[in-house]
Structure 1
Amino acid sequence: MSDLDELVRLYFRLSFSNKEILAILAHSYQTVISIRTLKRICKRLGLFRRKNQSSLEEVLAFIQQQIMTNGQMQGYRWLHLRAVQYGFVVSQDTVRRIIKLVDPQGVELRRARRLRRRQYNCRGPNALWHMDGYDKLKPYGIAISGCIDGFSRYVLWMEAYTTNNDPKLIASYFLKTVSFANGCPERIRADRGTENSSVEQMQIFLRRNHADNFAGEKSFIYGRSTANQRIEGWWATLRKQSAQFWISLFQTFQDDGHFTGDFLDKSLLQFCFLNLIQDELDDVVNTWNSHKIRPSASATSGRPVVMYSFPELHRAEDRLKPVVTDEIIVCSEECTPKGQYPCDETVFELCCLLMAENDWDAPRDPLVAADLYMRLREEILQII
């Protein structure tokens, strides 16, 4: 199979329209083909949007599994995109009808939470990044740090770790993103938490010699967390698609007396669940970045990854500011990346030893992780 076939298959599975696929091929891969050629390739690869529909039984089983795993707050558009990405050929209307049939309570919950949103305007990608921390899992020893582009709503990073209060750790997420993009944003917005101090200093340092109106100290904005609209809106999405499941699971541990909030219990949760949560975060981010945002009077509509990567398709201009490699190296010396272990090193080594002695498998899903957590906790409490 040719490289072109692989690219077409990839972007088709991401549910991109033919127009979007053609634009990406031309812009990123210098490959210009006609719409008729694209359709012929799709036909040859067996890629159909309506033809050869997947069996309803398989689609039903997939949706039930998604609802069971991730809760009742996923809408039909989101689940339709997930289904397409998993290779199903199914219409949005079919997914909507299945959800209404198997999860009527979830449908009513979503209907009851409609909001009137504040208007938001941004001139283009990288004009304003929104940073914030998500603390709903923090009582259980897991903290999330995220950043989203204001114009495109493209998620730039979403990291789960044992803390989101360390300024040098948050700076490592920022610098990794800046290095990958080969530039820094025009401005960053964050709340006044001390965890953002290093990012503030680095952003001002990297922007100090630029000549635009937001250069230097004006390139970093502090404000109330509740008014940080873009990232606050995304936290609501994260809770629906992922976080509520973990909150409920850990709350059950606590209610049943299997989690006290002490050092050991937090370390065991981190050992068993942190990597799973990061994997799911990556999955949710990938789905979000490729889903289609509906048109509205106050914001640009489209797919976040397309709006971020190809602003000219939306009559916008990329506001990314150039950075000097040597300055990135200087900043990196002030960063503290994630550690080698998902929890305290001593607890990690003890858990690995117990798993080897008892021939216990590494957790591959939440149920296995929950079982491992209970077993490790019981064994260690007997030792101490």
Structure 2
Amino acid sequence: MQLHAVSVCTSVCPMNQYKPTPPLDQIEPHIRRLWKARLTDKEIIAEVRKHIDMSVYGISLTKFLEIRKQLGLLRTRQQGHTCESIREVMVEMRNMYPDAGVREMIGLLFHEQGMAVSRSVMRDYCITYEPHLLKQRKVNRLQRRRFWAASVNDIWAVDQHDKWLRFGLPLHTGIEPFLGRILWMKVWHSNRNPQLILSYYLGTIKEFGYIPMITQSDPGTENFGIANAQTLL
């Protein structure tokens, strides 16, 4: 009786209970876009699943990690950069971005060179090879500046604020400074995601029906999306 039961189960149960992985050309653009937005692996998988037919295909964390490695998308520890390995690229990048600090340069390396560099490595590099720039930035840290806007919607100023981070509340705001109008004030689990920050800007111009002459922000990579959209629009 036991042998008979086993044979029946074998004939009924499917030979492969796992769904196939979707074609790479179908999911690669989404993976690369979400990777640039600096989402975690689990967040990327959740978003990718929204773009595939889950009744036909499936994608697990293990399979996704294989695909990510195949595409050359390696995390910071996997790339294992040192001060010496980034030096040649840093010299080139410093010529283009002479005022970028540690955080900004980490973002620039990631978005423009595909290099994931840890904060400690970047800090050690600056101490070793750019001590004069560190000293200069400290001296010029506090400077009185004059802000000027020609008229309404001449400038939209955007910035992230970390004063509430200790409460787990990253804040991002957009302001029309001529009138002092708050365009948006958003609290989310991150205020450094370029895709998220861009959605605030796009939602505002969709609501108002117009865009400003220019946008103003610091050189942080979280603002790249707004800068690119403003240029295209």
Q: TM-score, normalised by structure 2?
A: 0.49
Larger Rg: 2
